[in-house]
Amino acid sequence: MKIIVAIKQVPARDSSLKVDSAGKWIQDADLSFEINEPDAYALEEGLQLREKHGGEVIVLCLGPARAAQTIREALAKGADRAIHVEEGDLGSLDTLGVARLLAKAAESEKPDLILTGLQSDDLGNGQTGVVMAELLGCCHSTIIMQVEATGAGIKVKRELEDGWFQFIEMPLPAVLTIQSGINKLRYATLMGIKKAKSKEIKRLTAAELGGASASSASLERVYVPQKSKQTQILEGPAKEVAAKLAEKLRFEVRVL
């Protein structure tokens, strides 16, 4: 089974974020970066499927030169090889632009399965995987909790609301977006880190893949939400005050 896992490099979760001078994105010059956590679970699922059924796991990453560090980390954890689509200006690409470049890079590999994280920790759109599937003409499913091979296809377990799950049988090739927490993430071993240095990383550019398409969506402004405090004193009998408080919690604060 040939499995492609799409990963993204994002700012580390403990980073102190500041909006850049243009107000379009964050200042990233002094930030530390790491693999997008949902993508780490997609990688783990891909590695476990390979261990059960054989084949290879190929990491696919779109990002600037610094993303090579995250790619090496994925290789150290056990991925067989990688494809790095070098693109320094990710801020100019919308979801469709990103998905087109990733789909074009994956197309020549003819994978049986493409895995992505459910969403990215920075933008959180949750769209790249399904748009890739549409561009490639593959069936797809989201919020996947379990994947089982069934002959020529797969059976997946999807998470729904209120503790419900859905089981679907799908043909291959397919694209799945993996839910975080479905497996325990592995650490890179010392041997894995050494082997990663000799593993293949195929480098491509957006121009080689036909160029990035014009974005149909753009970020106009990034800002820190204003914080305000407001105090309300409810007076009257305890029963009336309790009813007023419950109403405010339900319709204004929306925590009930």
Residue 49's nearest CA partner among 188, 172, 147 is 147
In the block, which residue shows the tokens 């789909």? 103
Q: What's the CA gap between 250 and 256, in Å, rounded?
A: 5
Going along the chain from its start, the domains and CATH numbers come out as 2-205 (3.40.50.620)
Q: What's the CA gap between 191 and 42, in Å, rounded?
A: 22
pTM reported for the whole predicted model: 0.83
The tokens describing 60, both together, are 């696919």
**Could you read off the pLDDT tens digit of each residue along the chain, which spans 256 residues?**
999 999 999 988 888 888 888 877 788 778 888 999 999 999 999 999 999 999 999 999 999 999 999 999 999 999 999 999 998 677 678 888 899 999 999 999 999 999 999 998 888 888 999 999 999 999 999 999 999 998 889 999 999 988 899 999 999 999 999 999 999 999 999 999 999 999 999 999 888 888 766 677 777 888 887 877 778 888 999 999 999 999 988 888 777 7
113-140 burial string, b = 16+ CB within 10 Å, else e?
bbbbbbbbbebeebbbbbbbbebbebbb
Contacts of 67-73 with C-beta under 8 Å, sequence gap 24+, read 67/9, 67/33, 68/201, 69/9, 69/33, 70/7, 70/9, 70/33, 70/34, 70/35, 71/7, 71/201, 72/196, 72/197, 73/35, 73/188, 73/196
Asked if residue 72 lies in contact with residue 188, where contact means CB atoms within 8 angstroms, the answer is: no
User: pLDDT by residue (tens digit) across 102-150?
Assistant: 999 999 999 999 999 999 888 888 899 999 999 999 999 999 999 999 8
Q: What confidence score (pLDDT) does residue 231 get?
A: 84
Q: What confidence score (pLDDT) does residue 214 get?
A: 64
Q: In degrees to the nearest 10, what's the CA dihedral of 156, 169, 117, 217?
A: -150
Residue 141's nearest CA partner among 107, 113, 121 is 113
Beta bridge partners of 168: 156
Q: What confidence score (pLDDT) does residue 111 get?
A: 96
Phi-psi category of residue 40: left, alpha or beta, with phi > 0 → left and psi -120 to 50 → alpha: alpha
